[in-house]
């Protein structure tokens, strides 16, 4: 299974934009691969505006998000893994989604039924019956 987070993130981003609101993400700025402007980090997190007007070359990929944006008039290239995104919300309404650890990776596989040999019995040979 693929991680759910990138798909949920893109869906929420699209929904927020189509509702005419401004999408913001909360990012764990202390993630080892997060490349964000450190001057705007507060309590280890940074809130980033992902609207079309605030970003250039926005790419919401399965593994990472990247874009160029201006911070105090200076262009920064911003890049961070999708796993560093803690949530996404609409600035105007506060509606959005907070991500859990379960959204990060593959879900556990359902348990498999034990084979007859594992149940303690000998494997049985298949039998055919004639049906008239």
pLDDT tens profile 76-93:
999 999 999 999 999 999
Q: What is this structure's pTM?
A: 0.75
Q: What is the CATH number of the domain that holds 40?
A: 2.30.30.220
Dihedral sign of CA atoms 96, 14, 23, 66 in order: positive
Is there a domain that residue 128 lies in?
A: no
Dist CA 30 CA 68 (whole Å): 20
pLDDT band at 115 (very low <50, low <70, confident <90, very high): low
Sequence-separated (6 or more) residues with CB below 8 Å from residue 107: 1
Structural domain boundaries enclosing 12:
5-103
Is there a domain that residue 132 lies in?
A: no
Is there a domain that residue 120 lies in?
A: no
pLDDT tens profile 2-39:
889 999 999 999 999 999 999 999 999 999 999 999 99
Is there a domain that residue 35 lies in?
A: yes
Q: How many domains does the chain have?
A: 1
């Amino acid at each position: 299974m693929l991680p759910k987070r990138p798909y949920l993130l893109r869906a929420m981003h699209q929904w927020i934009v189509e509702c005419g609101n401004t999408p913001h993400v909360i990012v764990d700025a202390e993630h080892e691969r997060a490349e964000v402007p450190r001057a705007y980090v507060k309590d280890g997190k940074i809130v980033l505006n992902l609207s079309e007007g605030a970003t250039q070359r926005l790419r919401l990929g399965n593994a990472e998000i990247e874009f160029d944006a201006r911070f105090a008039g200076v262009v920064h290239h911003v890049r961070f893994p999708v796993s560093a995104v803690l949530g996404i919300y609409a600035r105007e309404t506060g509606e959005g989604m907070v991500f859990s650890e379960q959204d990060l990776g593959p879900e556990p596989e359902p348990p498999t039924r034990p084979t007859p040999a594992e149940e303690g019995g000998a494997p049985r040979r298949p039998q055919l019956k004639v049906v008239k």
